């Protein structure tokens, strides 16, 4: 068994893509040594005490590094047991013969010209076909040492997935077979394109052009969903753009970690290991970060939203440098819980906003204004942590973008105040708890003060009512007295009633002689004034 081949297997222990940037992005900065170096050194040690002693020294002070190396060693042991025997061949390759599965070699009717790509378990070559037609194609072949049952099943699943596709924006499969050494390969359309983000920047595409190009990606992914496939690794490197007849054409590639939503892709398909991360962290949906089998097409909708976010702002929602500086568990937590800012807000925090705006042929201030509003709403809806709140499909996502471009109402709306508050609390749980406690204390004080003020107000209102009633009674008694004087009625009774109502409260039975005298004088003057008033009223009535 070849050690180099087995070592490559170690790249996928975390569910990543071997030599991909995503796998590199999750490396811990505290690891002073490369995990693969320690892995190879540990392999050279005898199992047991010697290997354990080596790990004690090599991984001192870095439990994360040791855990990673031990995981690689465990995967190596499992892979060594599960390798399929390679078919034997009578042909011996001489020193002058080209290696058949390298540039210059021949695989079936295809001559390998140059290596143009490499993934976790496959290598892609540009190849030339001469019969029955002459054309250049892309030939993907499983790597040396990757021919375990798991990787063969995954490779054949990708081959079957692409064969099911029939869409102009998905790379087509032309042929499939096995090399003389028994390693499977398949031949697909050669896409002379570059990643979509690089293409847009290189050609200085504006926001509208980027949006129209992005809708092609959505419809290609929707086609895969209709075929029962979830891509699970949508990112710029897997969305290429080529110029055909002076028009940009999108090609979605690399269904190597695609998941079937119905049935199995092949009879050899193996289940993804439980709790195994699959995808690229920067573009991964929260449910993928949970590493549970419960994944549906809305995971791709989330990844599409991250791609659109990058096309609009030049940055991903979760900063790549921030991810590199975090442990594996912290990366999962960030994907699940950290709410990224809307695209227009993210622009204001970028140091390179001038160059970002220049690549979009627009001024920085106008770019922020262009993204603010509907585009912010559309992106954030597709990137909701709760998948039930996202677009139901990639086609619905594309349709809302087309509504925006046509100045029609969009399904995505401005986030409610309650939703914004919930997200703020989720982002700032500790400060929010302190603020809530302070607000409750202030509220309790405010309620107590308010109740006291209400009580005082009611007392004032009662006193005013009593005063008004007393004044009304006095006016009525005065009117009765005037009526008695005018009509010759029971003057004595009316006068007594009037006197009683006009007596101040402090002039009770214990009043002094001086107070009583003053009071009687006041009564006499009042009655005299009433009489004069009545006489004037009679005179006026007689004159009229």
Q: List residues with catalytic annotation.
A: 233
* Cα separation values, 231 from 170, 175, 301, 361, 516, Å: 12, 21, 10, 32, 105
Contact 136, 129 (CB under 8 A): yes
* CA gap 470, 452 in Å, rounded: 27
- Give the start-end residues of each E strand in 444-498: none
- Residue 132: CA atoms inside 13 Å, Cβ hemisphere, count? 2
Please choose, from the candidates 198, 148, 190, the residue with its C-alpha nearest in 3D space to the C-alpha of residue 2. Answer: 148
* CA gap 474, 529 in Å, rounded: 16
Contact 227, 234 (CB under 8 A): no
For residue 229, the cross-strand partners are 260
- Residue 433: CA atoms inside 13 Å, Cβ hemisphere, count? 3
For residue 148, the cross-strand partners are 83
Helices (H), 203-327: 207-226, 286-289, 298-313, 320-324
Element containing residue 188 per DSSP (H, E): strand 184-189
Element containing residue 107 per DSSP (H, E): strand 106-107
* CA gap 344, 347 in Å, rounded: 5
Helix, strand, coil percentages, rounded to 5, for the chain: 55, 10, 35
Helices (H), 10-62: 21-25, 35-43, 49-58
Q: Which long-range contacts (CB under 8 A, 24 or more apart) does 397-406 make?
A: 397/218, 397/301, 397/304, 397/305, 398/214, 398/215, 398/218, 398/219, 398/222, 401/211, 401/214, 401/215, 401/218, 402/215, 404/211, 404/374, 404/375, 404/378, 405/208, 405/211, 405/212
Contact 96, 114 (CB under 8 A): no
Cα 359 from chain centroid?
25
Helices (H), 203-297: 207-226, 286-289
């Amino acid at each position: 068994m070849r050690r180099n081949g087995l070592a490559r297997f170690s790249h996928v222990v975390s569910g990543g893509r071997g030599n991909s940037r995503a796998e590199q992005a999750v490396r811990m900065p505290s690891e002073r040594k490369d995990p693969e170096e320690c892995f190879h050194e540990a392999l050279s040690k005898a199992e047991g005490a010697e290997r354990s002693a080596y790990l004690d020294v090599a991984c001192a002070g870095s439990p994360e590094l040791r855990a990673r190396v031990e995981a690689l060693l465990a995967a190596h042991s499992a892979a060594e047991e599960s390798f399929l025997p390679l078919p034997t061949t009578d042909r011996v390759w001489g020193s002058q013969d080209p290696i058949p599965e390298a540039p210059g070699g021949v695989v079936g009717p295809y001559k390998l010209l140059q290596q143009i790509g490499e993934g976790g378990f496959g290598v892609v070559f540009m190849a030339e076909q001469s019969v029955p037609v002459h054309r250049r194609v892309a030939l993907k072949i499983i790597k040396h040492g990757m021919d375990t049952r798991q990787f063969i099943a995954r490779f054949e699943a990708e081959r079957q997935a692409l064969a099911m596709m029939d869409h102009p924006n998905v790379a087509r499969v032309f042929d499939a077979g096995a090399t003389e050494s028994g390693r499977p390969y398949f031949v697909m359309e050669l896409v002379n394109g570059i990643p979509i983000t690089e293409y847009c920047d290189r050609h200085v595409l504006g926001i509208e052009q980027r949006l129209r190009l992005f809708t092609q990606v959505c419809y290609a992914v929707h086609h895969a969903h209709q075929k029962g496939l979830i891509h699970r690794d949508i990112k710029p490197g897997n969305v290429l753009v080529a110029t055909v007849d002076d028009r940009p054409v999108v090609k979605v590639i690399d269904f190597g970690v695609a998941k079937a939503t119905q049935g199995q892709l092949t009879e050899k398909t193996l289940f993804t290991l439980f709790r195994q991360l699959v995808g690229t962290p920067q573009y991964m949906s929260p449910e993928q970060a949970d590493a549970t089998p419960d994944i549906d097409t809305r995971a791709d909708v989330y990844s599409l939203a991250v791609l659109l976010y990058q096309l609009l702002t030049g940055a991903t929602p979760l900063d790549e440098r921030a991810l590199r500086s975090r442990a594996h568990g912290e990366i999962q937590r960030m994907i699940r819980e950290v709410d990224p800012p809307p695209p227009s807000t993210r622009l204001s925090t970028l140091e390179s906003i001038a160059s970002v705006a220049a690549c979009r042929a627009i001024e920085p201030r106008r770019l922020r204004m262009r993204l603010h509003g509907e585009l912010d709403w559309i992106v954030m809806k597709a990137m909701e942590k709760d998948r039930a709140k996202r677009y139901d499909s990639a086609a619905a996502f594309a349709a809302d973008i087309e509504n925006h471009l046509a100045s029609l109402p969009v399904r995505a709306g401005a986030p409610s105040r309650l939703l914004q508050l919930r997200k703020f609390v989720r982002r700032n749980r500790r400060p929010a708890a302190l603020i809530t406690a302070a607000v409750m204390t202030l509220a309790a004080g405010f309620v107590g003060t308010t109740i006291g003020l209400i009580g005082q107000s009611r007392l004032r209102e009662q006193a005013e009512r009593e005063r008004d009633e007393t004044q009304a009674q006095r006016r009525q008694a005065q009117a009765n007295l005037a009526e008695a004087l005018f009509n010759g009625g029971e003057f004595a009774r009316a006068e007594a009633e009037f006197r009683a109502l006009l007596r101040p409260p402090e002039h009770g039975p214990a009043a002094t002689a001086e107070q009583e005298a003053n009071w009687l004088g006041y009564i006499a003057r009042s009655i005299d004034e009433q009489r004069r008033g009545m006489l004037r009223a009679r005179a006026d009535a007689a004159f009229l």
